Chain A
Amino acid sequence: MTLRNRELLNLFAVGALTAIGFAAVYLASQDVPEFDTTSLTYAAFFLALFVAAHVVLRITLPLADPYLLPIGGLLTAIGLTMIYRIKPDLAFRQGVWVVIGVAFFALTCLFLRDYRVLDRYKYVCGLGAIGLLCLPALPVFGQEINGARLWVHVAGISFQPGEFAKVLLVVFLAGYLRDNREMLSMGHGRLGLPSAKHFGPLLLIWGGAMLVLFQTNDLGGGLLLFSIFLAMLYVATGRWPYVAVGFTLFAAGAYALYHVVPRVEERVAIWLHPWSDPEDAGFQLVQSIYSIAAGGIFGTGLGEGVLVRPDGGTYIPFLETDFIYSAIAQELGLAGAAALILLYLVFVYRGLRIAMSADDGFSKLLAAGLTATIAIQAFIIVGGVSGLIPLTGITLPFVSYGGSSIVANFLLLALLLMVSNHVNEAADRE
């Protein structure tokens, strides 16, 4: 079977699951269960959208990995189903964002014929990332939501530039680290730390991450960007002391902020003692934990959990964005939550496999970086809402409600598939 046929088959399975999910939520929302084809129509539309993306891949990237698009589609479907269940009004808007995301995905595949040209624009990408990250801090566009300045508001549309900055940062780091990995790998002394000259850029980026963190008050975003950097640095140099020193520096910076920024101090305190103030400061985390615990092994079933208050609000604030994992864990149970995490693990496995089969450094680092982005982001938010690490608000890739997040992740997926196609083409030639 060809790779694309396999992908199509996978997509049909995803379509069937989507139809079941939509129908289940629809039925649960009815007083008298009555069959209606509306939800099936939506599911069919969803399938058609991804089949269209599949056709684009057939034309432009015929040898790309056949699992990544279906996994992205399935994650998106899970997200849409949960959003439809939590806030039906938002499901349509999220659907529009998915359409836009897939359109960007297709356009990237069609017009960016060779992703390796990005190598030439790595510094542009790097500066672009910094520029995007600084946008929310600008008084004209910037918007503060839930205590963090992450949003930009232009012409009636809000978006989170940080979501796009992460992709640009990965492109920049892939190019930069490929150029400098030999020098960075040469260590001095027992721990094999590089000389101050080569240490400079590392410190620079650390400083940048701290600045972003401080300016936007966004611990999650800062942690994500810095972790991506460390993961790619490790892949490029193979030197774990970098990682150790890097995390130490991050921890030191965060500790300093801990005393300066009350928000950071509060977050850590809540994480350590969620039940010291369950009504106020610890409310989100405590409610999230209740939700996870209430699911049991197999969950309450879609639409049957305790998520939405009679007035239409949710028991957990930001349920459809940051806390969507807690909703999934309650309605689909530990089994569903574990399946979701395993889905990310398969994504990471396929992504890192692409990185390992690539023959040039840029492709390797790009694929590894893009994959690490998804992995780290999923870990930070799921770990946060389940109390494993301090809670910081970022989206669950492909699943959470949010236009910027959806579009950026589809861009990321397109780049990853391009690397995959290139790698398999090279293998075919040999």
Chain B
Amino acid sequence: MNNQIRRLFFVFAFLFVALIGMSSYWLWRAPDLEARQGNPNQVVRQLTIDRGKIFTADGVVLATNRKREVQGQTWYLRRYPQRGLAAHPVGYSTVERSRTGLEESLNDYLTGSNADLSTLVDRAADALRGITRRGNDVYTSLDTRAQRVAMQQLGGKCGAVVALEPSTGRVLVLASTPTYDPNLVERNFRRVTRATGPCEPSSPLLNRATQGLPAPVFIPGSTFKVVTAAAALDSGKFTPASTFDDPGYCIEYDKRVYNYADQSGPESFGRVDFTTAVEHSINSVFCELGKQLGALTVLDYAKKFGFYEKPPLETPADERTPSGLWNGSRLFDPKDANQVDPGRLAFGQERLLVTPLQMAMVAGTIANGGVLMEPHVVERIVSQSGDVVQRTRPDEIRRVVNESTAAALTPMMVRVVESGTGTAAQIAGIQVAGKTGTAETGRAGQNDTGFIAFAPADDPQVAIAVYLQNQSGTGGATAAPIAKAVLEALLRRNT
């Protein structure tokens, strides 16, 4: 029997080696496994790090830690003292559900994992001495008061406000409603998801300012006329004084496309100049412009403004969505002009869907003399010892239109607020340049409304985009007053 026993030993030896092999295999797969949601190891290890805080530009704490002793370890659990104030850009960091927002995209900085050689050596020494690893603090460019005004103004509506500094791209307000309390995500996620807004999609977790599900939720409507007008002026074929005939409709494919009621004037203006067409948002004129310029030209300008690309920002890439024509859940980039209705495109209908961030970039470009600046919401990252690890510097993306085009378009947009569709955005003593939008969604009484603007018109400090879902009023009546309130909060902050 000894031969059998010997062979039995070899069988067991083989099986045991297979066991070691299997465990080794998982070790080899470890980098992939560690990143998976539901793996407590990585998340808990991060909990032992004194994670960096997140601040607004004026030093209000948006995210901090609460110390807790757990089985001899100190855990740093995340707290969000301002609750839903800036929940979308900041996001959350939890044990059970991973991370979103800046908490996710800046995780390496916040945990101090942004290693160069000297910090690696320091950290190894700290680990040996049992010193807690501390992350870096993040200062955003968000203005607390204006952000609060924006959230209050959006109230129970579904909408978003983005305000930025045109000359630098600093994002001052990034508000989205419905919002949620990030403190509840860990313990009571169902309460977060149960809260809904009067719109579809209604999830409070969706950052409407930059994100879609999968397509952006807002139709730009007439606010897109700023892009069309910029294209028309920049082509050199049109000036603010160019004249058009407005019969109250425009003929496309042998059918009449009627003007919209938000033009605040007679149904048909007759002979008008370009400035008046912008002032009263006359669809027939823009429909004609679209046909003359061609859909592809208008889209080319839109792309220069940043359409068809994820708007740049420090938040995670999957929380940013490109604006453009969308075929259902797919971004549609036509190669042939016949695939697009140029008239409807010109006044912001067709299949156009936009993020408020993108439209703030459009307003900011005109305000900045035609040059698009890269938007950023992170101002600087500071280590615990007070050294600035990283500071964001203004970065030019590209010149979108000539300076003369921007200079010509600005007075036209000023007229919108002075005597056109956007009078609700007037601020005493400050000239505001803006453009309203009221987009039909196909459902009666449920329009997407919007307003983009910048101010002061002669020396722009702030560019803003306000968008709302499911409104019965016009953009001038619903979105413009919100823009006014936020602009006032921002322009009066230094006085």
- State the A residues within 8 Å of B (CB): 28-31, 231, 234-236, 238, 278-279, 286-287, 289-297, 303, 305-306, 308, 310, 315, 329-330, 334, 337-338, 341-342, 344-345, 348-349, 352, 355-356, 361, 364-365, 368, 372, 375, 378-379, 382-383, 386-388
Contacts and interface: CB of A to CB of B under 8 A. Distances in A.
B190 to A, nearest CB: 15
Contact of A334 (B27, B33, B74): B27
Interface in B15-50: 15-16, 18-20, 22-24, 26-27, 29-30, 33-34, 36, 38-42, 44-45
A294 B39 CA distance: 9
B18 A388 contact: yes
Contacts of A383: 15, 18-19, 22
B1 A238 contact: yes
B261 interface: no
B12 A375 contact: yes
Contacts of B33: 289-290, 293-294
A352 B41 contact: no
Interface stretch (B64-72, B118-126, B245-253, B385-393): B64-72
Contacts of A341: 16, 19-20
Nearest to B9: A352
Given A231-B8, A364-B5, A379-B12, A315 B19 contact: no
Contacts of B39: 290, 294
A365 B8 CA distance: 12
A279 B38 contact: yes
B4 interface: yes
B13 interface: yes
A286 B34 contact: no
A306 B69 CA distance: 15
B1 A303 contact: no
Given A234-B4, A334-B20, A344-B16, 13 more contacts: A231-B8, A235-B8, A236-B1, A290-B33, A293-B26, A294-B41, A306-B40, A315-B40, A337-B23, A338-B20, A341-B20, A364-B1, A383-B22
Contacts of B34: 293-294
A235 B30 contact: no
A306 B41 contact: yes
Contacts of A334: 20, 23-24, 27
A247 to B, nearest CB: 12
Contact of B70 (A310, A329, A378, A382): A310
Nearest to A239: B4
Contacts of A305: 41
B3 interface: yes
Contact of B5 (A329, A344, A368): A368
Contacts of B38: 278-279, 286-287, 290
B15 to A, nearest CB: 5
Contacts of A28: 72
A160 to B, nearest CB: 23
Count chain B CB atoms within 10 A of each CB in A235, A310, A375, A383 and give the residue with the most. A310
A417 B3 CA distance: 22
A379 B40 contact: no
B19 A293 contact: no
B2 interface: yes
Contacts of B29: 293
Nearest to A288: B26
Count chain B CB atoms within 10 A of each CB in A29, A238, A287, A375 and give the residue with the most. A375
A49 B70 CA distance: 34
Contacts of B42: 294
Contacts of A337: 20, 23
A278 B38 CA distance: 8
